[in-house]
Amino acid sequence: MKWFILLSLLVHFFAVSFVAEAHVGSSGVIVQKQVGKYQLLISIKPPDVVPGTAQVTVFVEAGRVSSIGARPIYFRSGDKGAPTHDMLTRVGANRYEGDLWLMASGSSSVELSIDGPDGKQQVVVPVMALATALRDMPEGTGFGLAAMGLLLVVMLITIIGASNADGIVKPNQAPPAKLGRRRLVGMSVGLIAIVLILTGWRSWWNSTAKDYRNEQLYRPTPIHTSVRIADAQRQLTIQFDTTGFGVNRRKRRTLSYVLPDHGKLMHAFLVRIPGLDAFAHLHPNRRDTLNYEATLPPMPGGKYLLYADVVYQSGFAETITDTVDVPSLKVSSVAANAKPSDRDDSWLITEPMGVKVAAVNVPHLDNDMAVCGKPGASVKLADGSTMLWMDKPSQVLEAGKLYALKFAVADAQGKATPLEPYLGMGGHAAILRSDGSVYIHLHPIGTYSMAAEGSLVKRIADTARIFHYTEAVHFRDSIDAYITKLKTLPENEKNQLLAVSMPGMSHQMKTNNMVVFPYAFPRAGQYRIWVQVKRNGRILTGVFDTQVNESLL
C-alpha cells in the first residue's frame, strides 16, 4: 500500500511538473568550450516568461580577454534579423555578466563575440526561448497601482468636466448660470468614455492572457508509449500524438525534420520507479514519422519513467516524457540470445536508491570514502574495472552552484585505463532527481545538444532573411539513409564521420581515463547519476547517488 501511494504521488507530481518546466527542471544552459586560445565556461539562464531577459555569465578559464559581446539570434530570422551585440560587464578578474532580451518564443541562440590579445572568436550557444510560467502581480503592487489608477481616472474626469465648462468663461465676465450643469455633463461624458475604454482594454487584456496560457505557454509534445511482446521479445513503441496540431500552431512540431544527435534520431532513457534501480539508454529506430521502436533489453518488469530527447532542424531541442508499464518476461533461450535493436543501447540493473552506508560497491548517499584526499565515491563496473567520482567538494552539494562532475576509470589492478569514444564523445551522463521532477542528459561539453548547435551555426552562416524548409519527405529520407550508413560503419569510422558532421562535439579530455561534466543542480533533493563510458568496445555504466541541499547564500 505504501508503494502504491508513493507511486501515485510520484506519477501525479511527474505529470504536473512537465507543464511548468520545459526541460524537466533543468532549463538553464551550461557550456564549457575551447575556442582558439580561450577556455570558456558559459552559463545562460533563459527567462521563464517571454518576452524576458536571459542572464548570461561567462567565466574565462584560459586566455586574455578584453571584452565579450552577446546578442540573441533566432533560427527563423537568422543573422540578418538579429540585433547588435550588447557588451557584458566585467565583474571579476575572469567573470563577465549581462542580461539579454528574448522578445519572442522559439528556437534561438546566444552568440558571444570574444575579443582580446589572443584574437577574436565567436561562440554560438543554443537557447530555447520558451514561456514556461505564469507570473502573478504581488498583492501590494496591485493595490498601489489600483489606487494610482483610480486617482488618475478621477483627475481625468475632473479635467474633462472643467474643460467643457470653464472653457466658455470669458475674461472679466461673470460665469454663465448653466456653468455647473456643463461641468457635470462634461464629467459624465468623460466617465462614460473612460469606462468604455477601460472595458475594451480589460477585454483585450483577458484575451491576451488567455492566448498566453493556451497558446504561448510551452507544453512538451504528448506521446503514447507502450510495450508489446513479439517473438519472445518486448518491443517499446513511442508514438507522437499530433492531436491539436491543426488548430494550434504553437503545438505543432516539424516531426519530419528531426535531426540526428550523436548519430541517433532519439535518445530514450528508461528508469524504473520508485527505486530507480533499473536504467536503460536506448536509441529507438524510426518506423515512420510518428512512430519509433526499440527492443527492450533484459530488464525487470515494472513501471518506468521515460525521457526521450529529440532535436528538430530549427535547433529546437525537446525532452518528451511519459510513464510506461513494462511486463515481466520469463528468461528463455530466445530472450537470452536477443540482440538490442541498436548496438549502442546500454542498460544497468543495480541497487535501489538510498541503500545503507555499510553496503559495499553499490551506490548510496553520504559515502565517506576519500579519493586522492578528497571526498568521493567509487563503484565496480561490469568488466571488473572501477569508476571513481573524483574531486567531490563535499558530501552534500548545493543547489544552483556550478560543479565540474569528474569521473575516472581504473582497471582491476587500480591503474588508469584509457576510455574510447561513446557516440563520438568521451562519455555521457544522465541525472535524475528521486521524484523524477529533474532530468538532464549531460555531455562533457555541457547541457545542450550538439545537433542544435550545428543547426543554428549553419543558419547564422546563411544569408537568407527568412528560413524555408526543404521538401519534408526528401529531408526525412536523406536523414534515414545517413543513419543507416552510420550503423554499417566500423566504430572508428563512425566516430570520425560524427566528428566531421558536428565539429562542436569535439571535447578532448586532458586525462584519457577521465570524463568531466559541468552542471548545476537546479533544486535541492536526492539525485542519482548514471555515468556512461566505453572501454575495450564495451559500454560501461557507473551509478552514484548524492544529496543536494538549498544554497547557503
Q: What is the pLDDT of residue 2?
A: 38
Residue 351 inside a domain? The answer is no
Least confident of 55-59, 88-92, 98-102, 393-397: 393-397
| 75 and 104 co-located in one domain | yes
- Region 267-288: mean pLDDT is 95
CA pair distance 371, 405, nearest whole angstrom = 14
Amino acid in position 521: F
| 124 and 184 co-located in one domain | no
Name the H helices within 74-230: 139-165, 179-211
Q: Which residues contact 447 (CB under 8 A, 6 or more apart)?
A: 26, 28, 29, 30, 31, 440, 518, 519
Percent of the chain with pLDDT over 90: 40
Residue 2 inside a domain? The answer is no
| 123 and 33 co-located in one domain | yes
Q: What is the pLDDT of residue 172?
A: 65
CA pair distance 38, 60, nearest whole angstrom = 7
Least confident of 44-58, 124-138, 314-328: 124-138
Q: What is the pLDDT of residue 175?
A: 63
Q: What is the pLDDT of residue 7?
A: 41
Q: What is the pLDDT of residue 528?
A: 94
Instruction: Check whether 338 has a pLDDT greater than 70.
Output: no
Q: For residue 107, give the CATH number of its domain.
A: 2.60.40.10
Instruction: Check whether 287 has a pLDDT greater than 80.
Output: yes
pTM for this prediction: 0.83
- Region 40-54: mean pLDDT is 90
| 40 and 122 co-located in one domain | yes
Residue 76 inside a domain? The answer is yes
- Three-state DSSP class for residue 545: strand
Residue 464 inside a domain? The answer is no
CA pair distance 411, 385, nearest whole angstrom = 4
**Structural domain containing residue 201:** 139-167+178-216
248: region left, alpha or beta (phi > 0 left; psi from -120 to 50 alpha): beta
| 32 and 125 co-located in one domain | yes
Instruction: Check whether 18 has a pLDDT greater than 60.
Output: no
| 151 and 207 co-located in one domain | yes
Q: What is the pLDDT of residue 553?
A: 64
Number of domains in the chain: 2
Least confident of 332-336, 470-474, 492-496: 332-336
Confidence of residue 493 (pLDDT cuts 50, 70, 90): confident
Instruction: Check whether 94 has a pLDDT greater than 60.
Output: yes
Residue 421 inside a domain? The answer is no
Residue 192 inside a domain? The answer is yes
Q: What is the pLDDT of residue 105?
A: 83
- Region 188-212: mean pLDDT is 87
The mean pLDDT of the chain is 83
Q: What is the pLDDT of residue 246?
A: 58
Residue 354 vs residue 374, higher pLDDT: 354
pLDDT in tens, 125-167: 999 888 877 777 788 888 888 899 889 988 888 888 777 766 6
Residue 66 inside a domain? The answer is yes
